[in-house]
Amino acid sequence: MADGPAQDAGEAGMPRKQGRRQQGAGERGHAPCKPRPPARVNGAGPAIGPLPPRRADLWGPDLRRIAPMTQTTPPPGTLKAAQDVGRDWIEAAYFAEAEPAAEMQWATIILPFLQVEATGIDLSVTMDLAAGRGRNAAKLLPMAGRLHIVDIHASNVALCRARFGEDPRIAYAANDGCSLPVPDATLSFLFCFDAMVHFDSDVVRAYLAEARRALRPGGHAFLHHSNDMSLAGGDFRRHPHWRNTMSLALMRHYAAKEGLLVVRQQPLDWAHDGSDIDGLTLLRAP
CA distance 91 to 88: 7
What is the residue type of 240?
P
Residues in contact with 41: Cβ distance below 8 Å, sequence separation at least 6, in sequence order: 1, 2, 3, 4, 5, 6, 264, 265, 266
Sheet of 278-284: strand order equals 170-174, 146-151, 125-129, 187-192, 215-226, 278-284, 261-268
pLDDT computed for residue 173 by the predictor: 98
CATH architecture of 105-284: 3-Layer(aba) Sandwich (3.40)
pLDDT tens track, the chain, 286 positions? 333 333 333 334 444 444 433 333 333 333 333 333 333 333 333 333 333 333 333 333 333 344 677 877 888 889 998 988 888 777 778 888 899 999 999 999 999 999 999 999 999 999 999 999 999 999 999 999 999 999 999 999 999 999 999 999 999 999 999 999 999 999 999 999 999 999 999 999 999 999 999 999 999 999 999 999 999 998 888 898 889 999 999 999 999 999 999 999 999 999 999 999 999 999 999 9
Which pLDDT value is given to residue 201? 95
Torsion from C-alpha of 99, 102, 105, 108, nearest 10 degrees: -140
Structural domain boundaries in the chain? 105-284
Q: What is the dihedral of CA 87, 91, 92, 95, to 10 degrees?
A: 110
